[in-house]
Amino acid sequence: MPDSNPTTQPSSKQAEPKSNPSPVRSAYRRLAPVYDWIFGPSLEKGRRTALRAVGALPGDSVLEVGVGTGLSLHHWDPECRVTGIDLSPEMLGRAEKMCQRRDLENVELHAMDAQNMEFSDNQFDKIAAMYVVSVVDDPTALMQEILRVAKPGARVVIVNHFEHRHPWVRTAERSISRATGLIGFNAALPVDPVIETEGFRVLEVVPANWLGYWTLIIGEVVKPGSTTEG
């Protein structure tokens, strides 16, 4: 059963000002008021597919990396303990209000850098990272942190846009990547940093969302000495 008195309050780090905010923080500060309108319905199919792939069960400890405004939070099993993290205080503020409106007592929210999480090792049963890999500075560091905080055998599901396999599309993506980089989004991110991460066993890679332009990656965590190793 979930904790009877969990908090939906972001951690105190949310209030800490930054004199030189990153492009990602700046972009999402501007996007926060309209994010749900722009990216809600258009990316909803990928979110639903990712949540089904996670397969969270009652009692599971779930981490949602890049929780944003909380568009997925009310879809989790209410008997799960859900922790959501995001770098943007403005996005988290909206997620907190949504949790309060929907009375999501099984959710905790924290302002946190996903590349340097403050959780202990082997903490989560299931992890979802939706539309976040291409907006972090170091996708390899993100994956390493995800695997560190995951329990051995944990299910990890990622949905994201990666560099297209078709050479013409890939060339176009690379040509605009400098512009999209100004808002913290890498339009030409290769999938290799994810699927080749040591300790991440890829189970399935399938297209997601509109015309399959996004990718859903389902995997599990393999740690030395665990029953999933080998």
User: Binning pLDDT at 50, 70 and 90, where does residue 9 land?
Assistant: very low
- Confidence check: pLDDT of 171 > 80: no
Percentage of the chain beyond pLDDT 90 is 54
Instruction: Give domain status of residue 71, yes or no.
Output: yes
Q: What is the C-alpha R_g of the chain?
A: 17
The pLDDT score that the predictor gives to residue 44 is 86
- Confidence check: pLDDT of 106 > 60: yes
- Both structure tokens of 205: 């890679």
CA 81 to chain centre: 16
Domain with 204 in it? 20-221
pTM confidence score: 0.80
The pLDDT score that the predictor gives to residue 38 is 73
- Confidence check: pLDDT of 73 > 80: yes
Instruction: Give domain status of residue 91, yes or no.
Output: yes
- Confidence check: pLDDT of 76 > 90: yes
Distance, in Å, from the CA atom of 153 to the CA atom of 159, rounded to the nearest integer, reads: 19
Instruction: Give domain status of residue 15, yes or no.
Output: no
- Confidence check: pLDDT of 25 > 90: no
Nearest residue to 32 via CA among 87, 109, 93, 113: 93
Sign of CA dihedral 144, 146, 149, 155: negative
Separation of first and last alpha carbons in the chain: 33
- Are 214 and 46 in contact, with CB atoms under 8 Å apart? yes
Beta strands in 51-117 (DSSP E): 61-65, 81-86, 107-111
DSSP, res 116: S
The pLDDT score that the predictor gives to residue 213 is 74
The pLDDT score that the predictor gives to residue 4 is 38
Instruction: Give domain status of residue 53, yes or no.
Output: yes
Identify the weakest region by mean pLDDT among 36-45, 62-71, 93-102.
36-45
The pLDDT score that the predictor gives to residue 217 is 96
**What mean pLDDT comes out for the span 138-142?**
93
Nearest residue to 222 via CA among 138, 146, 153, 142: 153
Identify the weakest region by mean pLDDT among 29-38, 62-71, 198-207.
29-38
Instruction: Give domain status of residue 28, yes or no.
Output: yes
- Confidence check: pLDDT of 43 > 90: no
The pLDDT score that the predictor gives to residue 174 is 53
User: Binning pLDDT at 50, 70 and 90, where does residue 39 land?
Assistant: confident
Give 37: exposed, middle or buried? Use CB within 10 Å, 0-12, 13-18, 19+.
exposed
Instruction: Give domain status of residue 4, yes or no.
Output: no
Q: Specify the amino acid at residue 214.
A: W
- Confidence check: pLDDT of 196 > 90: yes
Give 155: exposed, middle or buried? Use CB within 10 Å, 0-12, 13-18, 19+.
buried
Instruction: Give domain status of residue 99, yes or no.
Output: yes
Q: What is the CATH number of the domain that holds 162?
A: 3.40.50.150
Distance, in Å, from the CA atom of 36 to the CA atom of 26, rounded to the nearest integer, reads: 17
User: Binning pLDDT at 50, 70 and 90, where does residue 75 land?
Assistant: very high
Instruction: Give domain status of residue 135, yes or no.
Output: yes
Under 8 Å CB-to-CB from 216, ≥6 apart: which residues?
46, 49, 50, 53, 157, 158, 159, 204, 205, 206, 207, 208
Count Cβ atoms below 10 Å from residue 75 Cβ, excluding itself.
Answer: 13
Q: Which range scores top for mean pLDDT: 21-25, 33-37, 127-131?
A: 127-131
Domain total of the chain: 1
Sign of CA dihedral 90, 93, 97, 99: positive
Percentage of the chain beyond pLDDT 70 is 72
